Structure 1
Amino acid sequence: MSMALFVMIIRKMVQNKWLLGSLFMGILISVALVSSMPIYSEAVLSRMLVKDLEQLQTNSGQYPGTHYSNVMVTKETPEQINNKYDRIDDYVRTTGASSFGLPVRELVGSFQSMSLRMKRADDPNPLSDDNQQWVTIKSYEGLEEHVTLKDGRLPSKVPVDGVYEVLLTENGLSHYKTVLDKVFVIEDKKAAANVQLKPVGVIRKTEDDDPYFRYGNLSDMNSAFLMPFETGERLLLREGQLPLSAAGWYVVMDYTKMELQTVEPFVTAHESMKAEIMKSFALYQMGSETRALNTISVYLERAEQLRTLMWALNVPILLMLAFYMFMVSNLIAGRQKNEIAVLRSRGASRWQVIGAYMTEGLLLCGVAFGLGPLLGAVLTEMLGASNGFLAFVQRVGLPVRITEEAYRFAAIAAAACLVIVIIPIVLATRVSIVNHKQQSARLTGSPLWHKMFLDVMTLGLAIYGLYTFRKRQADLQALGLSAKDLAIDPLQFIVPALFIMGAGLLLLRLYPWILKGIYWIGKKWWPPSLYATLIQVGRSSSQYQFLMIFLIMTIATGVFSASAARTINSNMEDRIRYGNGADMVLSVNWVNDAPPPEGPGGPPGGAPATPPAQIHYMEPAFEPFRELPGVEHAAKVFTKKNAGFYANEVSGTATLIGIDTDEFGMTTWFRDGLLDYTLNDYLNLIAPDTSSVLISRTLAEQKEIQPGDTIWIGWQEVSQQPFKVYGVIDYFPTFNPNPPLGSVNVSDKAADNAPMLIVGHLPRIQVQLALEPYDVWLKLGEDVSTSEVYEGIEEGGLSVSRIVNTREDLVQAKNDPFLLALNGVLTLGFVLAILVSFVGFLLYWVLSLRGRTLQNGILRAIGLSVRNLIAMLAVEQLLTSGMAVLLGVLVGNLTSKLYVPNFQIAFNPSSLVPPFMVKFETADYIRIYILVGLMLLIGLGILAYMLSRLRVHQALKLGED
């Protein structure tokens, strides 16, 4: 391409800077949105991976960022072992440790001898079973830097008077029943020489959480003599004076630097280390342990799931952006059709014209490709801060990093944008100058989507998708089948977008008839300005449809996004609160006469301990729990799994819950609408009669028990007692009536396997059945920190074995990467849709007003004031943009009611208790209406300003020209 042609293209782009700027914005947002997907996936999963590893360390007490390989050698000569060891040691230190992709904090070589017989050197008797001891010699590289001497001194690295000096732990000193500076001699036929050993120091860990120690403690050193590493290498490996049993390499890495991109190299490095060692020690026992492997290996699969979710959630906004870019490109082509037709009539080939516009597109897409991933990183920060729809919180920043994959995604998105923007140009080059003039003189016909019945087709697909999802969900829940954890089906997110588009297009098909109805209703009374506006909109309704479908899709997507995010967040919170039952649940230790647990050696004499027929408990004081700081209400809740019952000649097992009705009702959390009446109504029903119980509907239906029946309840070692059934309930705090996962045979849908529940009075249960431990449920004040409760428990000396903290569970759930992505993408998608719609809205009206300059000038010349013109414009906005907003709200609400319940299939069906419920919040609507209202007001203000600047003589002069 010559420089002259390039300059001409640049000048043409400058002349159309506003249109091209709008087009570039759409391309840039599209590229940024697509490139943000891998950036976000890596950032959020990297943060979650480190959190999971931290949790693993907390739970196990062992450092997760480690790899340990060892080989057991027993049958080769020292020379053979030396050669193989040197090769593996060189590999581990130069390649193996660094291949994990993490900073190496420690690389610890180790040696271990076989178990050898020894005795005290000052014992004159020959070695026998009476005076022998078994010892293992161990050497650890760098041990001296991580331990502190509790007694004695560090050993010499060379023999002192022919005696090798060693270290012991405190337990080791007790194990060998010795004191420091006592000399031992090894007398074992497996050893090449009788080696003398002398403990000279007792060690302990310098730091409690030092990851140098493989098990987090000194347990692997407690029954060994610890020899300096250099001495052990010489004695066990090089010289072979003592038989070598094992050699190992322990790599400690900084797991806090682990990111998603290092997961695959980490797993590969583990396998490579095993394979490399197997080459030399294939015939011998080999061990290899990477503690974090199980935790991190699932992240490759989670990354794919999250990426699928991101794509699926972004489909509606990507479709809208494609629509926007096509519209703007079509506007550009429409404004330049005359120029294109002239070029074609003067001999320019189609491909020459397309090539010039292709250059424009390449320039725009090239710049977007360079800037898109940078903007994508900014969008990722926004995603990480989302805590709900259009709600942001201060959260620790994500480890955002622009990856090679982000640029690969950006390149694909830029190429797709180039194709979209060039299509209208290709179509425009097919039109000759004569065809162009003919089309300009004719009214625009029906839109292509109406001719192709695209609205009917998309609605049909959406309704079929709805039917499929409803059927699948019913099967999963009724049969207790197991869906994969957060199994995301992309179609469940795409189908709502199809419904929104189809419903919007169908309403636009009906819109001209609505306009005609409005016109005929008041044609005798409309003022001239309104009459002219109705004529203008009615005759040119197809011109507004690009704008209207834009607004309908934007508002409907916003309403649907708000409802989806609110519903998923609320149902997640409801599920946790319902499953826990209260703000905090404490399991209290009760004094009892149960025998103590057996030690490793079993009971004395080898006879098995016989538990008493029934354990007797002493109930602790309950008042201290009421008085804990921040506690508003406290309740005793007794739960007995598999309690036996008998009624109407049928028997079975059910969960028995014992409560004090008044305290329980004030303490527990329960969602309204789950029962025919409120939970407190049911509690009040049984409150007067302590022998009354409530039963679950599953129990009533499976065993055909009705209110008024007598039911006998008891359990092993506790005789059954009669109770009276007062009511049937579908749900109760902590009770899940769904069949457990995998409990139903698919071919046997009628199996009576659903869990059953009986709720009774705790005092009656304690008196008539048995006094057994119950949990303490606490309801906290709104502004109370749970840390205050923990401090109160500690200060009060309350014996609590387990605490369920609902608030902590909620925070942990909200930090789940899938929920973060859902909230972030729905929010980001709506904000971008509003932005794009605003630009498209403004662009359309500015071009429309410029095209109607002569008409507006004539109206001003015949006497209409600027105020009347602005009023006409406002009515026109109301009939187009306002109507589109109204239709968008209707479509969005309908879409939410139909399709938001499909989101529950992303969760474990058996855990969906209480049932999924679509939620709308007034605050969400207010946010949406504020954003849309600002968009319309700003746009109207700009248009009013343009009208006020209109000069009549300029407009009329334009008409003469």
Structure 2
Amino acid sequence: MALFVMIIRKMVQNKWLVFSLLIGILMSVALVSSMPIYSEGILSRMLKKDLERSQQSSNQYPGAVYSTMHFTEKPERFNGMFDRYDTFIKTEGAPGFQLPIQELVNDMASSSLRMKRADDPEPITDRNSQAVTVKTFSDLEKHIKLKDGKMASSSPVDGVYEVLVTERALAQFKTVLNTEFLVQSDKMAGPVKFKPVGVFEKLEDDDPYFRYGNLSDMSTSFILPYETGKQLLLHDQSIPLASAGWFLVMDYTKMEFKHVDAYLNTHDQMRQSLLRIVSLYQMKVDATAYDTIDYYLFRAANLNLLMWALNVPVLIMLAFYMFMVANLIASRQKSEIAVLRSRGAARWQVIAAYLVEGILLCGIALLIGPFLGGGLTRVLGASNGFMEFVQRVNIPIRITEESFLYGTYAAAACLIIILIPIIIATRVSIVDHKQQMARLVRTPIWHKLFLDVIALGLALYGLYSFKNRLKDLQSLGLNTTDLNIDPLQFIVPALFIMGGGLLLLRLYPWILRLVYWIGKKWWPPSIYATLIQVGRSSSQYQFLMIFLIMTIATGVFSASAARTINLNSEDRIQYGNGADVVLNVNWINDAPPPQSIGGGPGGGGDSTPIPRRVNYLEPPFEPYLNLPGVEYGAKVFTKQKAFYTFNKDSAEVTLMGIETDQFGMTTWFRDSLLDYPLNDYLNLMAAESDAVLISSTLAEQKKVKAGDTIWIGWEGVTQQPFRVFGVIDYFPTFNPLPTRGIDSSVGVGKTPLLIVGHLSRIQLQLAMEPYQIWLKLKPDASTAELYKGIEENKLAISKITNTKEDLILAKNDPFLLALNGILTLGFVISLLVSFIGFLLYWVLSLRGRTLQNGILRAIGLSVGNLIAMLAVEQVLTSGVAVLLGIIVGNLASLLYVPNFQIVFNPSSLVPPFLVQIDPSDMVRIYWMVGIMLTIGIGILAYMLSRLRIHQALKLGED
């Protein structure tokens, strides 16, 4: 107890140091514990988006699970089989999914039966009978409304069972309500009478209660009330039962990442339970979202791996921060530790005292950290881009056991880091401590072990490996799943940053000596003393400088990576679409209607052959230019399967026909893709009507060059001569990368080939065929007004490609949101940690140099001179470290940001990745550095102004 009281008093006496250390531990725990919170939240959002897209594409409700059993066993076993599975569904199946249950529908259906009108005295034959199925559904009356008639009675009326039918069934049976029918089968003991008394329809059109979304599966059925149907079909077995099904409808919008395992496990349990009751071919479990979730798990694994890989630089930076702070505290308390050891305290006692102090601080951080991490996750969930936040639906935030577990790991790591300098310090006696203080110039351990060279070597090898892998992916037209991409590719930037920073610090003392030597005759006393102080005590600043270099470089790299991913994603969409809006227009033509199978009514060969050439009537172009918000428009003809001939060599190419002037004003294109601006190439071919541009893939593979004459045409069209005026690598919508791998028959990659010519020449000499209309909208144009204008003008459009909508969809993609959130997090952490580490270091350093500053004041230096010395010292250490961090960060961005294209499909990544370093991000860093230095100097100046000379000198005497 006495030891605990002593520790508390010690912490109170050093409250500034303890508070600074607590901030560092709390921040580390909060950030590490936020990783699983953010990961689960963003994965939950991604799952929801995947399910929504699945519903839009398949028109099936993703929250539905249907299990069915077909009864082919002995009828006396039906009740037991039904009850066993019905009990399982209600007690284990439905609750096992852990989602809100909207509906649990049980349906039963009879085998196909024969029926005739009850007033028909003739026996049942094919002529006077119809096929009918008797069905029943639980809670059907809550989801339907009567269109005609009344609801069916739950008990027979005068020996006749009342049923409901759909309007289509009424027409199918060619009858009216209240007509009695006699239903019988070889498997029935006797005939049963039914009478349709009501026609029903769905109460709500989008009600997920109905399995297929419509009532088409009831078009040949009589629908009995549930209890009546269950009695007839199952218990009494008056009607042969063919199948029973359980339709489970859950609220899939509440599904989160935590529910995935429960969903898959429950689905498997339902299959196993059914399999135990009936044989494999008699059962079926159909989960609408199963395939989506299965694919989601693949995406989630990749995303989770990528997110943690992106966090590695931040985690390394935090670990270095904690080590720097712990080392500063240990250095300050080495004298105290040495005194305790000299007075008889055992090493374990000293370590135990600091261990208890560390446990207290880590325990406090562990209690608060996960909740602070949850708050940080909520803010990052609103990211709309790098350092951009919008109001959107919050990602689900859940403080889980996993977040506390990660927080515990972080707290334990912090505790170990705190104790390492203490353990080292307990091995040093007072004499050793004084000797170490006298040896100001010491070679750091990382320089002795050449860790900088090793880290740079590993980083450069990782870069080389990535380049080779990417080259294989693009040359073979493979996807990222075709090769095993090493996640370490995203970790090597941290190695490069660390190795580059350490290498520059190895060279920095020589630069300081050069600066000192150049101006030693002119330096004023403050700068002269500072240069000597920094030069002779360079190892003292190593921790601070490498820390600042890593944090600033990590921030620059995160900023550049986020900007690059966002802008390149936008460029890829705009390049692939070609313009703001692309319209596919229906042209009037003389093409015959499609023939029926068999070649016509006669089924022989007398059918009229389809003409080899279809004639089209070109629609007017002006109405499209007059649509609301349209600034420019262009006609763009694309023929995918055209052919060219050159020197008896022929190949399939993509032919594009354009009007150069309108095309240049309408299309989007990144000019850096070509040697000259795109408009220069368009102007080059504008002078001659037979001029064409060809892709570099065509020029390289077929040895075609500018000035050559090539022949172009397509099936049914005679080839005509054109002259090559230029060779281009890229053109709007053209992907020069192979997409189908290697053609094994010829051993040559199937690389796309492109020819661009004048539309008028193509229409005149080749053929008039439909073209697309590309539109460029005004900056303030409204898409809704454009669509309204199309509707009002009754324009015959078969397809609209809206680039703005595609950009919004891409920006809201959870995968991109996760990248933006993590990289924004890394950038913010870098700025915050830099400031805290900088301030903490200088406050502790200044307090440790109280005697030295007191002596300087005693010999005549003013407070202003001391502040000037500290300012120069900060510029030579912190300022230089920030500058080196910016240099290393930019270099790392240029080398390693292209690694992120492996996240996308490299075979479709056109235009190529362009590293973006936004000046606004640099401005943020400059502002941060300026504020950091200003606040730091202000605090230090305040502390120096409070310095009392006699206290400092008396401290030296003690």
The TM-score with structure 2 as length reference comes to 0.96
Instruction: Give the Cα separation in 2 of the matches to 1:902 and 1:23.
Output: 36
Residue 394 of structure 1: aligned partner: 391
After TM superposition, the structure 1 = structure 2 runs for residues 239-318 of structure 1, keeping only pairs within 5 Å, are 239-282=236-279, 284-318=281-315
Is the contact between residue 148 and residue 206 of structure 1 (CA under 8 Å) also seen in structure 2? Answer: yes
Aligned match of 1:41: 39
Deviates more, 1:850-859 or 1:366-375: 850-859
Query: Are the structure 2 counterparts of residues 616 and 201 from structure 1 closer, same or farther at C-alpha, using a change threshold of 3 Å?
Result: farther
Cα distance between partner residues in 2 of 1:816 and 1:217: 32
Matches of 1:744 and 1:569, distance apart in 2 = 34
Q: Secondary structure at the match of 2:146?
A: strand
Describe the superposition over 1:36-67 as per-residue Cα deviations: whole angstroms up to 9, x where unpaired: 12111111121121222222222222211001
Q: Deviations over 1:912-959 (max 9, x none)?
A: 111111122211111111112111111111112222333344444444
Distance in 2 (alpha carbons) for counterparts of 1:542 and 1:431:
19
344, 348, 354: which one aligns with 1:347? 344
More displaced stretch, 729-738 vs 528-537: 528-537
| Partner amino acid, structure 2, of 1:16 | N
In the TM superposition, residue 842 of structure 1 has moved relative to its aligned partner by 1.5
Q: Is the contact between residue 548 and residue 881 of structure 1 (CA under 8 Å) also seen in structure 2?
A: yes
Is this contact kept in 1: 2:153–2:162, CA < 8 A? yes
Show the counterpart of 2:852: 855
Q: What secondary structure is seen at the aligned counterpart in 2 of 1:136? A: strand
Give 3-state SS (helix, strand or coil) of 1:154's partner: coil
2-side partners of 1:323 and 1:28: how far apart? Answer: 15
Retained in 1: the 8 A contact 2:328–2:844?
A: no
User: Where does residue 63 of structure 2 map in the other structure?
Assistant: 65
Which residue number in structure 2 is paired with residue 704 of structure 1?
A: 703
Within a 5 Å distance, the mapping from 1:656-805 to structure 2 comes to 656-743=655-742, 751-805=748-802
Amino acid at match of 2:12: V
Counterpart in the other structure of 2:325: 328
Are the equivalent residues in 2 in contact too, given 1:586–1:775 (CA < 8 A)? yes
Equivalent position of 1:409 in the other structure: 406
Q: Which string of whole-angstrom CA distances, capped at 9 and with x for unpartnered residues, describes residues 491-531 of structure 1?
A: 22221111111111111111111111111111111222222
- Give the alignment of 1:573-584 within 5 angstroms: 573-584=570-581
2:145 to 126, 145, 148: 148
Compute the displacement of 1:730 (Å).
Answer: 0.8
- Give 3-state SS (helix, strand or coil) of 1:97's partner: helix
Aligned-residue RMSD, C-alpha: 2.2
Q: Distance in 2 between matches of 1:856 and 1:432?
A: 27
One-letter amino acid of the counterpart of residue 32, structure 2? V
- Alpha carbons of structure 1 residues 22 and 603: separation in structure 2 relative to 1, 3 Å: farther
After superposition, the C-alpha distances for 1:696-738 in whole angstroms (9 at most, x for unaligned) are: 1111221222222222222222232222222211111111111
Task: Give the superposition deviation at 1:300.
Answer: 2.7
Is the contact made by 2:383 and 2:389 (CA closer than 8 Å) also made in structure 1? yes
Work out whether residues 388 and 569 of structure 1, in 8 Å CA contact, stay in contact via their aligned partners in 2. Answer: yes
What letter corresponds to residue 651 of structure 2 in structure 1?
G
Question: What CA distance in whole angstroms lies between the structure 2 residues aligned with 1:310 and 1:128?
Answer: 70
- 1:650 equivalent in alignment to 2:658: no
Q: CA deviation at 1:604?
A: 5.1
**CA-CA distance at 1:782 after TM superposition:** 1.9
Q: Does 1:818 align with 2:815?
A: yes
Instruction: Go from structure 1 to structure 2 and tell me whether the alpha carbon gap of 1:562 and 1:610 turns closer, same or farther (over 3 Å shift).
Output: farther
Deviation of 1:767 after TM superposition, in Å, equals: 2.8
Aligned partners of 1:781 and 1:322: how far apart in 2? 51
The DSSP-based 3-state class of the residue aligned with 1:693 is strand
Alignment correspondent of 1:119:
116
Which of 534, 537, 540 is equivalent to 2:537?
540
- Check the 8 A contact 1:310/1:825 in 2, yes or no: yes
| Closer/same/farther in 2, CA of residues 854 and 287 from structure 1, 3 Å limit | closer
Q: Which amino acid is the alignment partner of residue 4 of structure 2?
A: F
Deviation of the 1:611 alpha carbon: 6.2
The alignment partner of 1:718 has SS state of: coil
SS at match of 2:168: helix
Give the equivalent residue in structure 2 for 1:636. 635
- In 1, are the aligned partners of 2:179 and 2:195 still within 8 Å (CA)? yes
Deviations 1:529-550 (A, max 9, x none): 2222222222222211211112
Is the Cα contact below 8 Å between 1:308 and 1:488 reproduced in 2? no
Contact 1:692 1:723 in 2 (8 A): yes
Residue number in structure 2 paired with 1:210: 207
Could you tell me whether the CA contact under 8 Å between 1:702 and 1:752 is conserved in 2?
no
Distance in 1, Cα, partners of 2:707 & 2:406: 67
Corresponding residue of 1:5: 3
Contact (CA 8 Å) 2:552, 2:834: kept in 1 or not?
no
> Unaligned 5+ residue runs, structure 1?
none
Instruction: Give the conservation status (yes or no) of the 8 Å contact 1:741–1:910.
Output: no
Q: Secondary structure at the match of 1:361?
A: helix
CA distance in 1, matches of 2:840, 2:592: 82
SS in 2 for 1:779: strand
Q: In terms of mean alpha carbon deviation, does 723-732 or 597-606 score higher?
A: 597-606
| Distance change in 2, residues 1:729/1:14 (3 Å) | same
Alignment-derived partner of residue 442 in structure 2: 445
Structure 2 unmatched ranges of 5 or more: none
The residue type equivalent to 1:664 in the other structure is F
Contact 1:465 1:495 in 2 (8 A): yes
Alpha-carbon distance, 1:324 to partner:
1.6
Distance in 2 between residues matched to 1:607 and 1:13, nearest whole Å: 100
Deviation at 1:276, TM superposition (A): 0.7
- 620-629 vs 948-957, greater mean Cα deviation: 948-957
In 2: Cα distance, 1:282 partner to 1:808 partner: 49
Structure 2 Cα separation of the partners of residues 257 and 249 of structure 1: 21
Q: Secondary structure at the match of 1:92?
A: helix
Please state how far the C-alpha of 1:437 moved relative to its aligned partner.
3.1
Match of 2:671, SS state, is coil
Q: Residues of 2 paired with 1:610 and 1:25: CA distance?
A: 85
Counterpart code for 1:48: M
User: Does the aligned pair in 2 maintain the 1:674–1:731 contact within 8 Å?
Assistant: yes
Does residue 1:74 correspond to 2:72, yes or no? yes
1:560 aligns with 2:557: yes
Mapped to 1, the partners of 2:880 and 2:941 lie a distance apart of: 20
Deviation sequence 1:377-400 (CA, Å, 0-9, x none): 122123212233333233321111
**1:72 maps to amino acid:** H
CA distance in 2, matches of 1:63, 1:955: 77
Distance 1:867 1:345, change over 3 A: closer
Of residues 53, 56, 60 in structure 1, which corresponds to 2:54? 56
Q: Which moved more, 1:866-875 or 1:643-652?
A: 866-875
Distance (whole Å) between structure 1 residues aligned to residue 66 and residue 885 of structure 2? 60
Q: Is the 8 A contact 1:658 1:761 kept in 2?
A: yes
How far does the alpha carbon of each residue in 1:633-678 deviate from its partner, in whole angstroms, 9 at most, with x for none? Answer: 1222222111122222111111111222111111111111111211
Specify the alignment match of 1:612 in structure 2.
610
Question: Percent of pairs identical after alignment?
Answer: 67
Structure 1 residues 876 and 496 mapped into 2: Cα distance closer, same or farther (>3 Å)? same
Q: Which residue of 1 aligns with 2:453?
A: 456
Change in 2 beyond 3 A, CA 1:344/1:865: closer
Report the equivalent of 1:835.
832
**Number of aligned residue pairs:** 956
Residue equivalent to 2:625: 626
Moved more, 937-946 or 121-130: 121-130
Q: Which amino acid aligns with 1:733?
A: P
Single out whichever of 429-438 and 624-633 deviates more from structure 2: 429-438
Q: Deviations over 1:66-99 (max 9, x none)?
A: 010111113422x211111111112112221111
1:100 corresponds in structure 2 to 97
CA distance in 2, matches of 1:917, 1:166: 68
Moved more, 315-324 or 951-960: 951-960
For residues 945 and 280 of structure 2, the distance between their equivalents in structure 1, rounded to whole angstroms, comes to: 93
CA distance in 2, matches of 1:803, 1:48: 27
| 1:913 aligned partner | 910
Q: Deviations over 1:234-293 (max 9, x none)?
A: 121111122111111101111111001101111111111111111111165222211011
